[in-house]
Amino acid sequence: MRIWAVIPAAGVGKRYSSDIPKQYLSLNGMPVLLHSINKFVKLDEIHEVLVALNPDDEFWQKLNFSHPKVKTINGGPERCYSVNNALEELSGRADNGDWILVHDAVRPCISDFDLNKIIEIVHDEDVGGLLACPILDTIKKVGDNLDVLKTIPREGLWSAMTPQIFRYELLKKALNAVLNSARSVTDEAKAIELIGLTPKIIEGDKTNIKITHPSDMVLAESIINTWMNK
Could you say which of 3.30.70.100, 3.90.550.10, 3.30.360.10, 3.30.1280.10 is the CATH number of the domain covering 3-131+160-228? Answer: 3.90.550.10
For the stretch 52-62, pLDDT in tens is 999 999 999 99
What's the pLDDT tens digit per position in 169-222? Answer: 999 999 999 999 988 899 999 999 999 999 999 999 999 999 999 999 999 999
CA 40, CA 101: separation in Å to the nearest integer? 10
Contact 86, 73 (CB under 8 A): yes
pLDDT digits (tens, 9 = 90+) for 148-163: 999 999 999 999 999 9
Mean pLDDT, all residues of the chain: 94
Q: Give the model's pLDDT for residue 15.
A: 59
19 pLDDT band, cuts 50/70/90, is: confident
3-state secondary structure the chain: CCEEEEEEECCCCHHHCCCCCHHHCEECCEEHHHHHHHHHHCCCCEEEEEEEECCCCCCCHHHCCCCCCEEEEECCCCHHHHHHHHHHHCCCCCCCCCEEEECCCCCCCCCHHHHHHHHHHHCCCCCEEEEEEECCCCEEEECCCCCEEEEECCCCCEEEEEEEEEEHHHHHHHHHHHHHHCCCCCCHHHHHHHCCCCCEEEECCCCCCCCCCHHHHHHHHHHHHHHHCC
| pLDDT tens-digit series, residues 71-128 | 999 999 999 999 999 999 999 999 999 999 999 999 999 999 999 999 999 998 999 9
What residue segments make up the domains of the chain, in order of their start? 3-131+160-228
Residue 171's pLDDT is what? 98
Please state the pTM of the whole predicted model.
0.95
For the cut 90, the answer to whether the pLDDT of residue 16 exceeds it is: no
